[in-house]
Structure 1
Amino acid sequence: MSNYTMFTAAVNTRLPDSTVLLTRDLAETLGLQGSEQVHFHVGQTSCKLTVAIRNSDKLKMKLAVNPGALKRLFLQAEKNYGIKKDMHGLHLGPVVGISADVSNEKGKPFGNQSFFFQQLLQAGEAMGEICYAFSPYSINWSKGTVAGYTYGKKGWLRKTFPLPNVIYPRERAYAVNHTYRRRLEKVGARFFNPPLVGKWETYLILKKNPDLTSYLPDTKLIKNFSQVDLMLKKYKAVYLKPTTGSKGKNIIRVSKRKNIAGYEYQYEINNLIIKGNAPSLSRLQSSLRRVMGNRSYIVQEQIDLLRLNNNIVDVRILVQKNDRGDWETTGMACRQGKRGSITSNISSGGSGRKLDMVLNQNFDDENHRARIIEEIYFLAIESAKTLEKTIGPAGEMGVDIGIDKSGAVWFIETNLRPARHVFLLIGEQDTRLRSVEMPMLYLRYLAGFTSKER
């Protein structure tokens, strides 16, 4: 049973500014009486209106106000919205904000994310949400409003909205820009995902779960470059990864040279593969300074990943919460690195492959393949549950998992701002669409509009 219902907004120019006219079925559903004064909450704003009830049986689940009140309630005529009642009054929507970096690109106010946001907004509106995309810098704190964007028949439209009930953070800087986040939380807004967490912190959190330790590659935080040499005495090759960052940028593979003293290394800059060697540890460190800079790094044992056409392959699993707040696996796909690359990232020239196809090419035993898939599901959900116990509630994670040549499953990393493009690359349009709907369903739940009693 839902704790909210849907209604259609309407305009009635004959109504006083302070009156709301409800059809009888809507008034009965909400438990309202005629002449009752009720607070209407829209995001973080509210206004008091007097209820009038229409007795006509022809109109169903309608709420009418005059044009001025319609604007104050941030509603549009003939559109459907969610509404729920609690001890504080009536709540509309809910109001969902998608925070993002604004672009100067014509017709794409949010750059490469514009089409994704368009789909999110359309999905949210179909669910009765009042939703918009916005830059954190477009908030008018004194008025409690936001200059945000919606998408309609004429394309992108900039309008004024109330501060949201819930926020889906998609801006690149949200790992460090906590100021607006704290201010919104202070007025009662809730965030879909916590701030980004680094690779070393992720490793330390997951290591505390005894059910996950066997899935974690040996990992050390580099405090002294001699740790790289110590790891190379244990493993034939290691990966150096920045503790923060994504898309496989600034990752380095290092190995010992064969039959001669020294080291070999490889990394990529602007999708260009760079290889080199160094006769000593100090020369290795100076050679890698160009890519490492002053960033904090971890050193990690190399996993002997499966290969397809001699290119490395890993698995991206998208786990998301549903409209009851429970974790689900929305989809999974393999990412195949470009020729010669040490990473599998799509943004660096990688491609998508179906997991079944990759497993069938590498493992003959059907039971073995089934066990691998079962472990992937377990590792993805368990790592998400474990992480959110420490970093705070989350709505989705992209979990990257490696499969080695023996069929063992390994945790690689999680991404709190996951891309979905890989599902289109393997022809799974339905999975891609589901991955867009799920955040809007969970945001509705997060705002207190629940679809089912728990």
Structure 2
Amino acid sequence: MLMKGTAGSRALGIMVVSSLASGRRSWPPFADRGFYKRLSRTGAQAGIRVTIFDPLYIDWSRKLVQGYEYDPKQGSWLSVTRPIPPVIFDRCFYSGRSQYVRYARAISRLRRSRCVKALIVGLSGKWQVHQILAKHNLLRPHLPETRLLAHMEQVAEWLDLRGACILKPNAGSHGKKILRVAKLASGGYEVTGRDAMNQHVHAAFDDPASLLKWLERFIGMRRYLIQESLALHTDAGQPYDVRALMQKSGDGRWHLTGMAVRAGRIGSLTSNIHGGGSSYPLTPFLRDLFGEEETESLILKLQDLSQLIPHVIERHTGKLAELGIDFGIDRSGGLWILEVNSKPGRSIFTRLHDIRRSKASVSNLILYARYLSDRQLGGLAR
């Protein structure tokens, strides 16, 4: 529960990649404005001023950020100049490697700044997460076989051995540019998935040479992973996964905010909401597939894995604020860790009209920011 306070007595900064950095124009110049509006309202109730800013536009000589704040009383966004916030959460989404490098320099400078007492930075990519989780004995059996894609011949080798594989960008999000490549009984090849605009992709090839040439153009210079293809769909062919949202709250500890199912369209590769998927309550969805007893067992396993994963990752990366963990469940009830995202969305609870969890997914961030602020005021280490 949020305690009332005087707005502005504490400050939280949210780092974003603004549309100014990519040449686009919008107001305010960043995505997810609805989420940040809710975060600002909740912050105002708790006495925390929330400033959204792009780290490329910091005035280092005066230690100021040029940012944006939502004023709940006026119901509008304001352009502001503020001191660099002492507590900062990273919500930057990068369009490519070159943009990531530019922002990495700015974030590294923030790390070294004495103005910043707590900087919660996101994970660097899927491969980093996979390597961390693979070192843990309890988590390793739940990981699909995964490798870095070093050359296109790897794809042909996987297809010869396994018949199909998944190709996914190391730094991708929202299910974009993920492909499933399969070798057909006829001897040809089929590719399905999503492009950079999250539109459906389907292509067929008669020989491996033309397939690999097409994949090379599609992937370009991006860093990709190659992964085993699992049967993560219902009997009717509807792909689905389970999203668990883990967050720190006012006590500085990890809590499971909630879990829900994301299901895609029948025949599609991904279940991501941004790709046209839908949200469903967890228990009834799984009960229809696995029955009462097995569903209870699956949910307990999902909860245990969700509680374990953040602690394992943090031991290697430093402090985090929240994690969205995506699980797959195969036809025999096997659990698979598909992805761990340090900058998760939370629309899954909004779409389910789950008001309690939707509010908690926002308030937990504010409560954790206040926890960090109070530790600083108490003279404790970061």
TM-score for both structures, normalised by structure 2:
0.87
Kindly provide the amino acid, as one letter, of the partner of residue 417 in structure 1: K
Per the alignment, residue 69 of structure 2 pairs with: 150
Flag structure 2 segments of 5+ consecutive residues without an equivalent. Answer: none
Per the alignment, residue 96 of structure 1 pairs with: 12
Q: Using the TM superposition, give the Cα deviation of residue 437 of structure 1 relative to its aligned residue in structure 2, in angstroms.
A: 0.8
In structure 2, the residue corresponding to 1:135 is in which secondary structure? Answer: strand
Per the alignment, residue 93 of structure 2 pairs with: 172
Equivalent-residue separation in structure 2 for 1:287 and 1:144 (angstroms): 48
Equivalent-residue separation in structure 1 for 2:310 and 2:249 (angstroms): 14
On the 8 A contact 1:266/1:275 being kept in 2, the answer is yes
Equivalent-residue separation in structure 1 for 2:127 and 2:222 (angstroms): 13
Equivalent-residue separation in structure 2 for 1:360 and 1:195 (angstroms): 34
Question: Which of these two proteins has the greater Rg computed from alpha carbons?
Answer: 1
Equivalent-residue separation in structure 1 for 2:56 and 2:345 (angstroms): 24
| Structure 1 residue 314 corresponds to structure 2 residue 314 | no
Kindly provide the amino acid, as one letter, of the partner of residue 17 in structure 2: D
Flag structure 1 segments of 5+ consecutive residues without an equivalent. Answer: 8-78, 82-92
Match of 2:170 among 223, 228, 243: 243
Of the structure 1 ranges 287-296 and 346-355, higher mean CA displacement relative to structure 2 is found in 287-296
Equivalent-residue separation in structure 1 for 2:118 and 2:93 (angstroms): 15
Q: Using the TM superposition, give the Cα deviation of residue 287 of structure 1 relative to its aligned residue in structure 2, in angstroms.
A: 2.0
Equivalent-residue separation in structure 1 for 2:306 and 2:211 (angstroms): 35
Q: Counterparts in 2 of 1:255-266, with a 5 A limit?
A: 255-258=182-185, 260-266=186-192
Per the alignment, residue 60 of structure 1 pairs with: none
TM-score for both structures, normalised by structure 1:
0.74
Q: Using the TM superposition, give the Cα deviation of residue 243 of structure 1 relative to its aligned residue in structure 2, in angstroms.
A: 1.6
Of the structure 1 ranges 419-428 and 134-143, higher mean CA displacement relative to structure 2 is found in 134-143
On the 8 A contact 1:192/1:394 being kept in 2, the answer is no
Root-mean-square deviation (CA, aligned residues, Å) is 2.6
| Superposed CA offset, 1:270-329 (max 9, x none) | 344332332333221112223211222221111211327532010111111112221111
Show structure 1 runs of 4+ deviating over 6 A.
104-107, 450-453
In structure 1, the residue corresponding to 2:243 is in which secondary structure? Answer: strand
Per the alignment, residue 371 of structure 2 pairs with: 445
Q: Counterparts in 2 of 1:168-247, with a 5 A limit?
A: 168-173=89-94, 175-176=100-101, 177-188=103-114, 189-247=116-174
Kindly provide the amino acid, as one letter, of the partner of residue 130 in structure 1: R
Equivalent-residue separation in structure 2 for 1:449 and 1:119 (angstroms): 25
Relative distance call for 1:257 and 1:203 in structure 2 (3 A) is same
Paired positions, count: 365
Per the alignment, residue 359 of structure 1 pairs with: 286
Match of 2:264 among 334, 337, 340: 337
On the 8 A contact 1:119/1:436 being kept in 2, the answer is yes
In structure 1, the residue corresponding to 2:50 is in which secondary structure? Answer: strand
Of the structure 1 ranges 270-279 and 296-305, higher mean CA displacement relative to structure 2 is found in 270-279
Q: Using the TM superposition, give the Cα deviation of residue 379 of structure 1 relative to its aligned residue in structure 2, in angstroms.
A: 1.8
Equivalent-residue separation in structure 2 for 1:256 and 1:197 (angstroms): 32
| Structure 1 residue 377 corresponds to structure 2 residue 296 | no
Relative distance call for 1:451 and 1:401 in structure 2 (3 A) is farther
Greater strand share, 1 or 2? 1
Per the alignment, residue 51 of structure 2 pairs with: 132
Q: Using the TM superposition, give the Cα deviation of residue 424 of structure 1 relative to its aligned residue in structure 2, in angstroms.
A: 1.1
On the 8 A contact 1:271/1:349 being kept in 2, the answer is no
| Superposed CA offset, 1:224-244 (max 9, x none) | 333323333443421111222
Match of 2:334 among 388, 408, 412: 408
On the 8 A contact 2:246/2:257 being kept in 1, the answer is yes
In structure 2, the residue corresponding to 1:307 is in which secondary structure? Answer: coil
Equivalent-residue separation in structure 1 for 2:12 and 2:235 (angstroms): 42
On the 8 A contact 1:94/1:130 being kept in 2, the answer is yes
On the 8 A contact 1:199/1:244 being kept in 2, the answer is yes
Q: Using the TM superposition, give the Cα deviation of residue 110 of structure 1 relative to its aligned residue in structure 2, in angstroms.
A: 4.3
Q: Using the TM superposition, give the Cα deviation of residue 413 of structure 1 relative to its aligned residue in structure 2, in angstroms.
A: 0.6
Per the alignment, residue 31 of structure 1 pairs with: none
Equivalent-residue separation in structure 2 for 1:190 and 1:284 (angstroms): 50
Q: Tell me the percent identity.
A: 33
Match of 1:113 among 29, 32, 35: 32
In structure 2, the residue corresponding to 1:164 is in which secondary structure? Answer: coil
Match of 1:160 among 53, 56, 81: 81
